[in-house]
Each structure stands twice: as C-alpha cells, then as structure tokens.
Structure 1
Amino acid sequence: MHPMETAMSSRRLITTLAGATALILALAGCSGPSAADEAESSDVIRLGVPLPETGDNAQYGEYFKQGYELKLAEINRAGGIDGRQVELVYEDSQSDPAQAASLAQKFIDDSSIVATFADFGTPAAAASSPLYQQAGLLQFLFTQSASDVTDPGDYIFATWVSQEYEAPRLAEFALEHGDEAAVFYHDTDWGLNTYGFFNTGAEDAGLDQVYTTAYDPQGKDFRPLLLAAAKATPDVIVIIGYAADGALITAQARELGLEQPIVGISSIYNQQFIELAGDAAEGVETLSYFTPENPDKTVQKFIADFSDAYDVAVPSDFAIRAYDALSILAEAIEAAAADGDITRESVRDALAAGSDFDTILYGPVTFNEKRRVDDAQQYPLVVRDGAFVLRD
C-alpha cells in the first residue's frame, strides 16, 4: 500500500469539541433534577428533540422532522400512550457540539422530559452523552455509527449498526470492481473510526489502497486530492462520507475525467446525493439497509403513507431512522407504563429489557449488551436514471 496522504485536521475537531467539553465539565456539578423530580403523571408525555433546524446540516433536521411527525401523528391518532398524548420538544442545535451540550442541560433541567433523541452526527451527540448519562436521562442515537458512541454509559442507546460491521463489508463491496482502490474518508472522529475498520477489512479481503486521504467534510474543492488519486490509477474510488460532500467529490471526479466506479458508504444513500451530484451520480453504488423495492407489506405501507404526507416518492434514510427511533421509544414507554409509572429510569429499563421492537429499516430489533443493534442485512444499490435502485 502506498503511503497515506492524510492532511489530518484533527485540530479543528479538538478545537470544536473543547468548548463543548468545557461546558460539560462546568455543568456537571448542576446536572439537574433527581429521579424524584421526574414527571410521573402529566397530561402529555414529552420527549426532547435536538436537531439542526438552521446551519449547514439543516437538511438533515428537515428529514428528521418528516420521520418524527409522521410517527407522532400515528401515535396520537391511536390515542397516544397510556391514554396520554405524546409531545416532541424541538430545539435547534445547528449540530454544533457546544450548542448540543447546552440543549442537553436544558432538557435535563426540564423534569417533564422523560427521554431525548440524539442530534445529527457523532460530534454533537458525543458532546451531550456524558451529561445525559450523569443525569440519568436516556439519549437515543440513530444517526451515529461509530463503534464507541454508547460507551458513556447505560442511558445511551444507538440503532445505526456499528462500523465494526459495515465498514469491512464496504471494502469487500469495493473489491468487486478491482483490487486497487483510492479511498476518501472524513477527517473527523467518525471518519477515523470508520476508516480503521475499513482498513482492517481491506487487508483481510485483499483490497490494495493505492491512495488514501482524509478530507475536510466542509471543504469545497477536492480536485487536488482527486488529481493525486488519479496518478495512482485505482480501479475503484471509495467514499466514506455524507451525502453532500460525497456528491461534491463525485461531481468533481467526473469533471476531471476520472471514470472509475465509485462506491460510497451507506450514509450517501440520500436523494440529496443525487440532486447535488447531478448526472455524475449515475452508476454510483452503495450498500443500504433500506430499499423502496423491499416487498414487505409494512415497508410498502410506510412508503405510501410517507408519500401521501410529504409528496416524496422515496423517503430519506434519515427520515426513516427518525421514524423508527420514535417507534422504538414509544414501544418502550408503553411497556414502562404497563409496569407502573413512566419515569426516566423506567423508560430506560424498558428499552434495555425489551425485544423485537418494530422498525422499517431492519424489521424487529433487540438491543445487545452494548445497547446497539446487531449487524443487519444491506442491499447493494446503484444510481440509475436519478434514483437508487437494486443493483442487478
């Protein structure tokens, strides 16, 4: 393998998180109400929802709201939980770690909040997790796939399959196009964690990385990196990134005349990727936990309901994940109510003890000892005629 050209920008992440860490330490001594202060009987069941309503990641906040609101309407139309309506308390975090930590403390201090969902992305969620854990308020992560996101403690749960499983599978997927790859991955904690598992998988599978680089996901010009990759003459280009930056890399690769097959990790499965990459998206492949071609009746009903609600033919993977997150948590809250009072502790316990929670993305799921969803089936997809479809 050729030497890695990384141009790491970890200092940026450290600087960004430093403020959040300082805030966590400052707030740790005032972690909010005790269990005795929790809401035990109220007219509504309230859940905290930090999400990016503004800023660079606002599109993801919009996807989240679509999934949340569709499931919320279903729950409340059916009579709520234990005869009580459910309310989502939205707060704009901009996916900023410092803001996420501040909102975590706000939710902790509000005794009517019985559980919270996580923000978009690993940095914002990670900045909040220690606070939630110390206060005994459940944090439900559904867009975080790094292997260590639930490490802060037993009040942190996650549904995205760990990159421990997904990233090595991506290496095997790329190998189908040739045994020499150019690999681009996020210069973030998530990217480093994911690439570590990809690298191990590549070595095991026999995929030779002739060019490897970390990149700033906020960057706009990836041409110098792509030109350097082109000199290594790879058989395939691998992108470990998100939809927006992955689309930009894809478009610029095609502009420069790079014709190699491009495969991306599952987080590029998003209509935004196709919209931003344009014609360059054609032929790009990924592995996804969802396909609208899944014949399962529950999946097809969900797609139809989503289309009716939002006039969108195919829901975003992130909207589905938000829908599933609220669905799972609602089941846990219902179980807690059946056993007694709905409190922060009883909701956490019901989630840990429960099994076969219904989801659109995975089917029935049960959390393992790390409070994660175990490995799940992925579908090979390719972009054809402006849509992700099952690959032949």
Structure 2
Amino acid sequence: MSSRFWRVAALGAVAALSLGLAACSSNGGAGEGGGASSDPIKFGVALPDTGNSAQYGEYFRQGLDLALEQINDDGGIGGRSVELVYEDTQADPAQAPQVAQKFVDDESILAVLGDFGTPATSAASQIYQDSGLVQFAFSASGPDVTDPGDFVFATWVSQEFEAPRLAAFAAETGTSAAVFYHDTDWGQETYGFFQEGEEESGLEEVYSTAYDPESTDFRPLLLAAKAENPEVIVLISYAADGALITSQARELGIDTPIVGISSIYNQQFIDLAGEAAEGVQTLSYFTPENDDPEVQQFIADFEAATGEVTPSDYAIRAYDALNAVAQGAERADELTRQGLRDALDDGEPFTSVLYGEYRLDDTRRVSDAEQFPLVIADGAFTLK
C-alpha cells in the first residue's frame, strides 16, 4: 500500500523543492526534532527487545523495517531519509518512563512509536505529553490511552468497542460462556466491556476467571470451567498464553468451541497450539484473503522481506504506524515536534493496510473499524 502513496508524495516533494527548499522553514527547521535540511529525520521506537514480550518486539521490527525501507526507497520525507532509533523497555511499565525521558532529551527525535501493550504505553504517556513529544501508540487498546493529552495518539480500536463485539461474536457459537481474561489492567478493563456486550447479546456467563498471563498450567482453571458446561470458551488473551490455554483444554478432552479476542490473530498462536488451534475463532481487522490489491502487495512485500507468508497483526500495525507518522510529517507546515503533532491531528485521512483509509477521531485514535470473522483451518486463519 505505502509504495504507491510514497511515489505520489515524492513527486510532490520534488515540486516543493524546485520552488526553493533551501529558503523554506517547512520540513527543514532546526531544533525540536527538525534538524537541518540535510539531516535524516529520526523517529524513536519504544519496544520489548528482551524479556517475556520480546517476540512482539520482533514483530514490531519486521513491520517497521519494511515500512522504513519503502519510505526511503521512495525518496524519504521531503527528500530527507528517515532513521529509527530503537530503545528496549521490555514492555515493563517501570522501565518505559526512563526510555521516554531518554527520547525527550534527544532533540533529534521528532516522534516516538510504541510501546507494546497498554500498561507500558500508558506508563510513559505523561512524560511525552508534558515534554511536547508525540507518542504514537499502535499496540495499546485501553480506553483511556490518549487521555494524558494532545500529543498522544493511538490506532488500536478501544476495547470499549471491540470487547462487546467479541461477546456478540461468541454468542453466535454458544449461549453460555466460560471467560478467561488477563489479570492485568488491560484484561480487567476489556472483561468489563465484554460483560456489557454479554448483556446486549444475550450471552450467559457461567464461569469466569482472571489469570496470570505468565502462568504455564491452566488445567485447574479449565477443569473448573468444564464443570459449568459452557457452550463456548472465550479468551481475552495474547497469542502465547491463549495458545497454551487452548492446547491444555484439548489435552484434557475439553472440546468446547473457543473464541479469542483479536490479539490472538498471530501465527505464533497456531505454531504454539498446533493441532489444538484447529477450529478456534477470532475477529481480526486483517485477513490474507482480503483481495484488495494493496493488501496483496503488502503480503508479497512482507514475505520477500521476512520469508514469512503470514504477517502478524503487530507487524502490520507497526508498518501502518510508521507510514501514518511519515504521512503526517509530509503534510506538516513545519517539521518540528509541534508541527508534526498538528499535522497528525488535522483531520486528514491516513492510508493503511489494516484499515484501508481512516481518520483519527477527536480523541486522536481510531474509534471503530470493520473486523473479519476468522476460523483456524488447516493451520491458517481463514474467513469464517
């Protein structure tokens, strides 16, 4: 998708340069992250390179590296190349503020993308807000992510909208549910919105439990759920822990249908759960079966770059996020931290693999988007 956008943008940039870029302050002002007109444009990335969530940092890099290569191959931003500066937070709320301060203190950084998950993202938000540095969150779905202020943006649809939709989707499979959800702020908030959806969809909850996502034995919880005879099991999980719950359920002979929230859309879920993944259902904003030519081009480009046939949801979100920030930088009146913030919040649309074309709402986030119903069949996520 982005290659076509960047070819068009590059032509516009050439036209602007021919009118006298050397004398223009736009996209070339010194200070506040802008740098000299010959300097690369730098964006920071806060992500987990190590720790329990390191796999997600790898997904981030896959998407970001592909987007970066395409942007620079198409002329960069206003003729300037783009660089990414990575910092490891381990997705730890205790470490994220330190990384945020490091980015804030580096005047060459124009904006920061990341972190993984709502807790680590939100732990750093006030630092970015108070310092006037854009935090562009693409992997945080908590309803209050952008509340710290107008320098915080988010592109994952809030669980306020997604969780009730999951309840309605689960109700299509069974009328009674056992619900497993993260014992974290994200999990508890999502579960609360899911319960609201239960009431609206007529789904009866016969069992629920919060769980530590780093646990390795879910059998006692699964046996307790089985005793209540649910018609569907709902996972408010990430890919790794969701896969473990799924595989252990099947090991125990529990053949109840399983429906998971969109964050299980990840090849890792299938790889870890193996045959137990067959028949698991989810809702996702992306499917490889989308015949949109731009989506198919992205899939081909991703496979060529990584060797992987199916991009993870997180790689796609990272890819889209860098393209969105770069699109904002292209249309900024002045390429400073403030100028980029204003351009991202100007109401103009962004192009995206995940959502097609979208606009940010008045809370600077994607408020809603279409999801595809998927089921795992023959080791792949397929349209239901």
Give the TM-score normalised by structure 2. Answer: 0.91
Taking the aligned partners of 1:312 and 1:250, their CA distance within structure 2 comes to 24
Q: Which residue is equivalent to 2:265?
A: 269
Stretch deviating more after TM superposition (258-267 or 75-84) = 75-84
Contact 2:157 2:365 in 1 (8 A): yes
Contact 1:303 1:315 in 2 (8 A): yes
Contact 1:332 1:354 in 2 (8 A): no
Is 1:310 aligned with 2:310? no
Contact 1:139 1:155 in 2 (8 A): yes
Unaligned stretches of 5+ residues in structure 2: 1-28
Instruction: Please report how far the alpha carbon of residue 41 of structure 1 lies from its aligned counterpart in structure 2 after TM superposition.
Output: 2.9
Q: Which residue is equivalent to 1:3?
A: none
Instruction: Please report how far the alpha carbon of residue 37 of structure 1 lies from its aligned counterpart in structure 2 after TM superposition.
Output: 4.8
The partner residue of 2:34 within 33, 40, 59 is 40
The partner residue of 1:385 within 368, 378, 382 is 378
Taking the aligned partners of 1:272 and 1:39, their CA distance within structure 2 comes to 37
SS in 2 for 1:96: coil
Instruction: Please report how far the alpha carbon of residue 36 of structure 1 lies from its aligned counterpart in structure 2 after TM superposition.
Output: 9.0
RMSD (Å) for aligned C-alpha atoms: 1.1
Contact 1:182 1:234 in 2 (8 A): yes
Taking the aligned partners of 1:60 and 1:41, their CA distance within structure 2 comes to 31
Instruction: Please report how far the alpha carbon of residue 86 of structure 1 lies from its aligned counterpart in structure 2 after TM superposition.
Output: 0.4
1:1-392 equivalences under 5 Å are 37-42=31-36, 43-336=39-332, 339=333, 341-391=334-384
Taking the aligned partners of 2:198 and 2:69, their CA distance within structure 1 comes to 44
Contact 1:356 1:364 in 2 (8 A): yes
SS in 2 for 1:319: helix
Instruction: Please report how far the alpha carbon of residue 118 of structure 1 lies from its aligned counterpart in structure 2 after TM superposition.
Output: 1.7
Taking the aligned partners of 1:385 and 1:137, their CA distance within structure 2 comes to 45
Taking the aligned partners of 1:354 and 1:365, their CA distance within structure 2 comes to 10
Going from structure 1 to structure 2, the CA distance change for 1:205 and 1:48 (only over 3 Å counts) comes to: same
1:229-250: per-residue Cα shift (whole Å, max 9, x none)?
Answer: 0110000000001000000100
Going from structure 1 to structure 2, the CA distance change for 1:300 and 1:36 (only over 3 Å counts) comes to: closer
Taking the aligned partners of 2:31 and 2:300, their CA distance within structure 1 comes to 42
SS in 1 for 2:95: helix
SS in 2 for 1:115: strand
Q: Which residue is equivalent to 2:20?
A: none
Same amino acid, percent of matched pairs: 64
Amino acid corresponding to residue 143 of structure 1 in structure 2: S
1:270-329: per-residue Cα shift (whole Å, max 9, x none)?
Answer: 000001111100000000000000000100000011111111111111100000000000
SS in 1 for 2:90: coil
Instruction: Please report how far the alpha carbon of residue 165 of structure 1 lies from its aligned counterpart in structure 2 after TM superposition.
Output: 1.1
SS in 2 for 1:49: strand
Contact 2:35 2:108 in 1 (8 A): no
Instruction: Please report how far the alpha carbon of residue 40 of structure 1 lies from its aligned counterpart in structure 2 after TM superposition.
Output: 3.0
Taking the aligned partners of 1:208 and 1:244, their CA distance within structure 2 comes to 27
Unaligned stretches of 5+ residues in structure 1: 1-34
Amino acid corresponding to residue 312 of structure 2 in structure 1: S
Give the TM-score normalised by structure 1. Answer: 0.89
Amino acid corresponding to residue 69 of structure 2 in structure 1: A
Instruction: Please report how far the alpha carbon of residue 374 of structure 1 lies from its aligned counterpart in structure 2 after TM superposition.
Output: 2.1
How many positions carry a matched residue from both structures? 354
1:171-193: per-residue Cα shift (whole Å, max 9, x none)?
Answer: 11111112110000111110111
1:128-163: per-residue Cα shift (whole Å, max 9, x none)?
Answer: 001000001000011111111111111100000111
Instruction: Please report how far the alpha carbon of residue 39 of structure 1 lies from its aligned counterpart in structure 2 after TM superposition.
Output: 3.2
